[in-house]
Every structure is written in C-alpha cells, then in structure tokens.
Structure 1
Amino acid sequence: MSYEGPEDEAPQPRSRRALTITFAALVPVALLGWLGWSALGDEPDRPAAAVSPPASAAPGGTSSPSASAGSLAGKVVVIDPGHNTGNFRHSAEINKQVDVGNGKKECDTTGTATDAGYPEAKFTLDLAHRLRTLLEKRGASVKLTHDGDREWGPCVDERARIGNTAHADAAISLHADGSAEGNHGFHVIMPGAVHAGGADTRPIVAPSRKLGARVAAGYRRATGEPFSNYLGDGTGMVTRTDLGGLNLSTVPKVFIECGNMRDTSDVALLTSGPWRQKAAQGISAGIVSFLHES
C-alpha cells in the first residue's frame, strides 16, 4: 500500500545583512562569526545531538532508545501487519482451527475497526510500510508476513513460521485494539513460557521481554501516547500464552496494540497519517536499540 508520510523540509539558510567594513576589520569579524556559527552547531552537515530521555519514560526504568545507532546491515526484521482487509469475505478459511502448541485457535480474525469503519487491517498495513521504510534506511533486511497481496490471512501459525524461516533477529506484530470507549493508550504483548506440542517459547522469553521494553519506550517517546489504562497495570507491558503468533515463534517477537480504535481520543491519532509516521519512528527506534544491544 502506498502512503505519504510527512515531508522533510530542508533547513533554510539564514539571511545575513551585508556589512560595509574596512578590510582591516573584516578578518577579525569573520573569525568571530565563524566561531559563533560553530558554537551554535548550525553547520549544514552537522547532525543534531541525540537527547537522552529520562529513565522514567520507559517501563521498568529503562531509558528510551535513541534512533541514532549505527547501521543494521546483516540484521533481519520481520513485520507482521495484523489481520487482512479480505478476512471478512473468507470466514470459513479464517475460522479454521490451527494448533498453537497449548491449544487450538482460529487461523485468523477480521480484526477491529473504528466506529466510522476504518479497519485495523488497513491501519496495520500502512504502519508496516512506514516501519519497513525506516528500517531499510538503516540497512536492515525487512520481510513482511503479507503485503496486502493475499485474499485472506495468513494464519497465525504461518505468520510465526515466516519469522522463524527468515531467522529474524526481531519480529513484531502490529495491531490496534477494539476495547470500550474510555479505555485508551497502548500496550506491548510479550510471550510467556509455553512448552507444549510444537511450541517452546522458553528460549525467546527473555530477549522478547527486552525487545518489548525497548519498543514501548521508543513508541511512547515518539508518539506521546500513554500506557494502556485498562491492561498492564499502568506499565504498558502484558504477557500472554494464548497467541499463536507468539507461542510458535522461535525468534524474539512481540505484539504492539497501538491504541484503541473504539476510543475517541485514540481514534483521532490512529487515523492520522502524520501520527502513524511518528508511531513507525518510535517502533523503529525501539527495534534499532534492541538489535544494537543484542
């Protein structure tokens, strides 16, 4: 899906009043001017200094990640846009039960939507495109579980398998919640320990928790969105053992519920293109931080 993110405006040069001075005065004035320019950091190619956020901005006192880390060359990230806009036309297929290790779950669901009809699946695919662009600019190899090119699905077990087969260094599933009005904010879902059937999350629980903390910190910093007021006890962090996309993963993976599509305040953000760009930047910053610390 094509999209237009906010355009970056090139810095405008400062106007400088022409000075009529003698040649004798020109040299010291020019030197002082150059020193002042350097002190202000306004040289065109000088990158802005990264500002470290307070430790309280992240769950568990972890400082928010900076997006200024180096190249992600050699790193693989799998992005899983939750649901599919075509799922509602394929109820038989998506209602088929699949094995998630400790039980059976539907292949997939239709996802939620705003009261005005903006579907979660459209939101997640747009956000996935924005996130992919940011990560590829950092040098990462990025794979989507689907790109709007399927009539329905894929099933949750296949979504996990795509990340496993790619040997992803990090995988993230993008979602928006469908809770009641008044429930607002975002939360990150991490895998709990599951060792049953074809599922064994024990090796990925710790790195997934670290990935989740970094994504939550980056997302909150970039968007200003608060932690969920209805899940996670105010921490923005939730652990679950009933999601096939997490249970069947063999690589570090988390879900992010970016907001509530049934809450008026969250909907105003989720339906905004510029805000979705901020969301992508926050998630990207968290993934970058995780990959450089791994």
Structure 2
Amino acid sequence: MTARRVASVLSLVLLVGAVAGGIAWRRTEVDDQVSLVAAGPYAPGAVGAPRAVAAGPLAGRTVVLDPGHQLGNHNYPRRINHLVPAGGFKKPCNTTGTSTNGGYPEATFAWRVARLVKARLVGLGARVVMTRHSNRQDRWGPCVDVRGRSGNSVDADLKVSIHGDGSFRSGAHGFHVIAPTDRKPWTHDIYRSSRRLALVLRSSLHREGVPVANYIADGDGLDFRSDLGTLNLSNIPTVMVELGNMRNPRDAHRMTTASGRATYARALARAVRTYLG
C-alpha cells in the first residue's frame, strides 16, 4: 500500500471517529474546503498551490477581512481583558464571542466565512489581508486596536469585520451591518465611505435572501456605533457585519452548514466588488 493510500485511509478513519465522538459539526470543515475550491482560485485539476491570478476586476485592490474573535480567547482571560486604545477611550482587548445553542463558536463561523470570501476575492485579482491567520484553542486576539488599525499602513481599499450575534431575545433573527458614526477626529474621514459600504453590503445580503435583523432599531439592517475600536481606529472604509443571531435556530442552521456559509460568502464578495466598482 502506498504512503498516499495509507494517509487517505487514516484520514477516513479519523473522520469516522470524530462523527462517532459527537463532534460531527467538524466535518463541515471538509465541506468548506469543497466550497473554497469551487470559489477559486484553485484549478479543478491542480495539485498543490493555487494557480496565479494574473488579472481580474479587482486587480491592484487590497481588502482587509477581520474574522471576529479567536477560538482560544476564553483560554486567555487576562490577556483579552487588558485595556487597549479604542478611539479616545479604552476597552478590553477582545472577547470570547458567542456560539449557537449547540456550541458552534462564533470564532469558527467567522473564520470559515472569511476564508470563503478571501478565495473569491483572490480569484477576482484582489490582494486580501487577514487580521488573524488561525482558528485555534492555543491562540488569542488580536486586540481590537490591532484589528482597527489593520490595513491603514498598506493603504487598503476597505475592511469588513465578520461576526455572528448572540441575542437571547425571543425570536431575534437576521443580519445587521454596523458602520461608524461621524466622530472627529476619529472617523470623520471614513464616515461617508463606510456608510456607502454598509448600504452596498446590506443590499447584497438582501439579494441572497438573508433576512434583516428584527431586533435592531429601525429594522433597516443598519446600525451606527461610536464605541467600537475596530471602526474608530480605521483610516479606510470599514464596516462590521453581524451575519445572523447564532442563538436563533433558523439563523444557526444557516451559519453551521456549508451551503449557508457559502451564501454569506457570495454576498460579501459581491458587495466588495460592487463597492470597488
């Protein structure tokens, strides 16, 4: 038996064991890999590294994707609770994030959606900068000040921070997009452009059939906040999107399935392309 065949057999055994052990949701990582291949920039018959993208509608553009939280944040309470600059005041470095009622973490959801979006944008020719490069129990952060400044030094075109909400309100469901308020000197320069990005993103999620949040003021899917370091410290158009309420069964189903995450990824990638024209 060849080494490659042995590796394949071992992988299958591990997968079956994981399902039998009651952590079948991890299998969705495989499904997401299939979605990544379908999204590009991987050639169907390629072996190894992704094919180079010589040009595309987003060639020369730089996009920052910020997958919310980190899977191991809860293992580092002292580090994530220390205060950092957040735009004229200080806030804790980070939080643990939320989860579905079944225990599927927000950090994992945001990570998987971000990777799908990245694949699509790279396939369109964009350069994509991620604020974190892993989703592991032995990692924490980065802090909100680092996330907020990410993209500033490389003059990125925009930033999207990807999250899932955790409201316990009965019946609360749907997405909402958060943009900065107009705060001099912090966000005055990006307020209008960020609002436009928020409108484009809302429209794109609408197009994919994702429902608007029914528990946010005005019910229009938009929220403007002045208390988020990720927004306040950015010098580029930036929005944060809560793609659904992870405590709501219907939203949770969409967020924990490969097809649901692919829906979010299509909407986000289309919004970026539309915004950048």
TM-score scaled by length of structure 2: 0.79
Partners of 1:232 and 1:249 lie apart in 2 by: 25
Q: List per-residue Cα deviations over 1:85-129 (Å, max 9, x = no partner).
A: 010000000001111123211100000001111000000000000
Query: In structure 2, which of residues 115, 120, 131 is the aligned counterpart of residue 134 of structure 1?
Result: 120
Q: Which residue of 2 aligns with 1:170?
A: 158
- How far apart, in 1, do the equivalents of 2:153 and 2:212 lie? 32
Q: Secondary structure at the match of 1:254?
A: strand
Equivalent-residue separation in structure 2 for 1:211 and 1:121 (angstroms): 23
Partner of 1:117: 103
Find 1:156's aligned residue among 138, 141, 144.
144
**Alpha-carbon separation, structure 2, partners of 1:166 and 1:258:** 27
Unaligned runs of 5+ in 2: 1-28, 39-55
- List aligned pairs for 1:74-223, cutoff 5 A: 74-148=60-134, 151-180=139-168, 181-195=170-184, 200-222=186-208
CA distance in 2 between counterparts of 1:82 and 1:182 reads 24
The corresponding residue for 1:262 is 247
* Gap regions ≥5 residues in structure 1: 9-69
Residue 4 of structure 1: how far off its partner (Å): 2.5
**2:219 maps to which residue?**
234
| SS of residue matched to 1:256 | strand
Q: Does the CA-based 8 Å contact 1:5-1:274 persist in structure 2?
A: no
What secondary structure, in the 3-state scheme, does the structure 2 residue paired with 1:113 have? coil
Aligned to 1:64: none
Q: 2:260 aligns with which of 264, 275, 289?
A: 275
What letter corresponds to residue 287 of structure 1 in structure 2? V
CA–CA distance in structure 1, aligned partners of residues 34 and 229 of structure 2: 32
Residues 54-74 of structure 1, C-alpha deviation per residue, up to 9 Å, x if partnerless?
xxxxxxxxxxxxxxxx61011
> Offset of 1:195 from its aligned partner?
2.6
Per-residue CA deviation, residues 201-237 of structure 1 (Å, 9 max, x unaligned), is: 1010000000111111111212x11111001411100
Cα separation, 2, equivalents of 1:166 and 1:80: 15
CA RMSD of aligned residues (A): 1.6
Q: Distance in 2 between matches of 1:5 and 1:291?
A: 27
Q: Which amino acid aligns with 1:178?
A: G
**Residues of 2 paired with 1:149 and 1:188: CA distance?**
23
Q: Is contact 1:187–1:232 with CA below 8 Å preserved after alignment?
A: no
Q: Percent identity?
A: 42
2: CA distance, partners of 1:206 / 1:274: 33
Distance 2:214 2:167 in 1: 11
2:206 and 2:151 map into 1 onto residues whose CA distance is 25
Shift in Å, 1:5? 4.0
Q: CA deviation at 1:168?
A: 1.1
Separation of aligned partners in 2, 1:99 and 1:249: 12
Name the amino acid aligned to 1:277.
Answer: A
Letter in 1 for 2:85: D
Distance (Å, rounded) in 2 between the aligned partners of 1:5 and 1:176: 23
1:4 equivalent to 2:55? Answer: no
In our comparison, the structure showing a higher alpha carbon Rg is 1
Contact 2:71 2:135 in 1 (8 A): no
TM-score (norm 1): 0.74
1:149 CA displacement: 6.4
1:73 maps onto 2:59 in alignment: yes
For 1:164, what is the secondary structure of its paired residue? coil
Q: Give the AA of the match of 2:118.
A: R
What is the alpha-carbon distance in structure 2 between the residues aligned to residue 238 and residue 149 of structure 1?
A: 28
After alignment, is 201-210 or 144-153 more displaced?
144-153
